Amino acid sequence: QSVLTQPPSASGTPGQRVTISCSGSNSNIGSNAVNWYQQLPGTAPKLLIYSNNERPSGVPDRFSGSKSGTSASLAISGLQSEDEADYYCASWDDSLNGWVFGGGTKLTVL
Amino acid sequence: QVQLVESGGGVVQPGTSLRLSCAASGFKFSSYGMHWVRQAPGKGLEWVAVTSYDGSNENYADSVKGRFTVSRDNSKNTLFLRMNSLRAEDTAVYYCAKDGLGIKYYFDYWGQGTLVTVSS
């Protein structure tokens, strides 16, 4: 059971907009920033969004993040087949004194 | 460019020990916190441990506290994870990851991972 809660799966058709939610508590998302990672099949994770809504260089602006209270979300607009991957949210937890991840969301492009 | 290369994985028996290494290049290693994150087969990501830029501060996940030790050699740009009393549930791909600054920012670069299998 992960400390952060994500839906196990999401799907959309090419060109659609999809969102993935991440729910936590006051000790993690409520007090600290949220980061999102993309893991393509058979590869290492890659930083997608940091500090709630910032994109590293090279990440398309189709990807965006937001946070409100103890929840966060990742939005992907103009869905493409290459976006098919697992997506994880993560945040520092002040009570655990460590990082916590969501269980991951498998995105399928139909 | 930033490169992180893990090594030291393999098949070991329960109760034994193993040391993983992560060779870093392409950035000033001694200025950044470094993490270990693992992923059991078919499962999600689990943060394992972090060491601060100078090795003076360490934090561990409860699942490994007292069994695993993270360390670093800044003169050799290398991160280590000493794993003792290994259990079947420690079976996973272990990734090293660079922090964006200290230890609480984000994991901006990841290695390719090294597989540890604990089995009798």
- Is residue B32 within 8 A of residue B99, CB to CB? The reply is yes
Mean pLDDT of B49-71: 97
pLDDT in tens, B60-70: 999 999 999 99
**Residue A1 in this model has a pLDDT that exceeds 90:** no
pLDDT band for B9, please (50, 70, 90 cuts).
very high
> Residue B102: what pLDDT?
82
Longest dimension (CA), chain B: 40
Mean pLDDT of A2-28: 97
> Residue B110: what pLDDT?
98
Whether residue A1 lies within 8 A of chain B, CB to CB, comes out as: no
Whether residue B88 lies within 8 A of chain A, CB to CB, comes out as: no
Lowest average pLDDT, out of A4-8, A59-63, B52-56, B100-104, goes to B100-104
How distant, in Å, are the alpha carbons of A6, A31, B74, B111 from that of A3?
Answer: 10, 14, 33, 24
**Residue B101 in this model has a pLDDT that exceeds 90:** no
> Residue B103: what pLDDT?
79
pLDDT in tens, A91-110: 999 999 999 999 999 999 99
> Residue B104: what pLDDT?
85
B18/chain A closest Cα distance in angstroms: 22
Give the Cα separation of B41 and A86 in Å (integer): 14
Residues of A whose CB is below 8 A from B36: none
Q: Are strands A9-12 and A105-109 parallel, antiparallel or unpaired?
A: parallel
Whether residue A50 lies within 8 A of chain B, CB to CB, comes out as: yes
Tell me the three state secondary structure of residue A34: strand
Mean pLDDT of A17-25: 98
φ and ψ at A2, to 5 degrees?
Answer: -80, 150
Lowest average pLDDT, out of A18-22, A105-109, B90-94, B101-105, goes to B101-105
Residues of A whose CB is below 8 A from B6: none
Residues of B whose CB is below 8 A from A31: none
φ and ψ at B118, to 5 degrees?
Answer: -110, 110
How distant, in Å, are the alpha carbons of A52, A66, A98, B66, B113 from that of A69?
Answer: 12, 10, 20, 34, 34
Residues of B whose CB is below 8 A from A86: 44
For chain B, give the mean pLDDT. Answer: 97
CB contact under 8 A, B44 and A92: no
For chain A, give the mean pLDDT. Answer: 97
**Residue B22 in this model has a pLDDT that exceeds 90:** yes
